[in-house]
């Protein structure tokens, strides 16, 4: 989902580091390694369809807003214990994005920050995304029954 939002930002003229896109794409493809071509195609289509459906409900006016909501979603998965790999590229990029947007330092040209941090709304959107992911059968917790 981060890749999709970064691509949307790039289409709007915002700069996106190509190395970040490459690392995110590699990380997304790594679980599919070792599968046959048909399975990869089928799973990749399903993953993309689910990602697009989750992002469609964000309907951000500015793709940067959707990007930060998606970053919060990744961090929420970690906070909720639903994503155990804290070194995952999506988690690392999300941390970098949130940290970067909070930086209120002037840029090299002396310009002030032009982006308003709306962390509470991003967290609420991340919660809504998680709820919709649960409805699609994703990130569900298993309950262990004791005898």
Domain membership of residue 72 as a residue range: 2-103+115-135
Residue 95 belongs to some domain of the structure: yes
Q: How many domains does the chain have?
A: 1
H or E segment to which residue 138 belongs: none
Per-residue pLDDT of the chain (147 residues), as tens digits, is 999 999 999 999 988 888 888 989 888 888 888 899 999 999 989 989 999 988 988 876 788 889 999 999 999 999 999 988 888 899 999 998 888 887 766 666 666 655 667 888 899 999 999 999 999 888 887 656 665
- CA dihedral sign, ordered 92, 136, 68, 119: negative
Residue 109 belongs to some domain of the structure: no
According to the model, what pLDDT value does residue 118 have? 83
Residue 69 belongs to some domain of the structure: yes
Residue 67 belongs to some domain of the structure: yes
Burial class (CB within 10 angstroms; exposed 0-12, middle 13-18, buried 19+) of 97: buried
Burial class (CB within 10 angstroms; exposed 0-12, middle 13-18, buried 19+) of 6: buried
Which of 31, 50, 67 shows the shortest CA–CA distance to 130? 50
pTM of the model: 0.84
Residue 108 belongs to some domain of the structure: no
Residue 44 belongs to some domain of the structure: yes
């Amino acid at each position: 989902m981060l890749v999709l939002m970064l691509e949307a930002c790039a289409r709007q003229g915002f700069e996106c580091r190509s190395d970040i896109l490459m690392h995110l794409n590699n990380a997304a493809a790594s679980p599919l390694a070792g599968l046959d071509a048909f399975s990869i195609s089928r799973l990749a289509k399903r993953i993309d369809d689910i990602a697009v459906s989750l992002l469609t409900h964000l309907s951000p006016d500015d793709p940067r807003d959707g990007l930060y909501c998606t970053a919060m979603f990744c961090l929420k998965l970690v906070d909720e214990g639903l994503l155990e790999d804290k070194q995952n590229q999506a988690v690392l990029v999300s941390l970098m994005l949130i940290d970067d947007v909070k930086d209120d330092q002037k840029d090299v040209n002396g310009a002030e920050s032009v982006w308003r941090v709306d962390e509470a709304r991003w967290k609420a959107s991340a919660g809504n995304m998680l709820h919709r992911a649960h409805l699609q059968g994703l990130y569900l917790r298993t309950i262990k029954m004791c005898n």
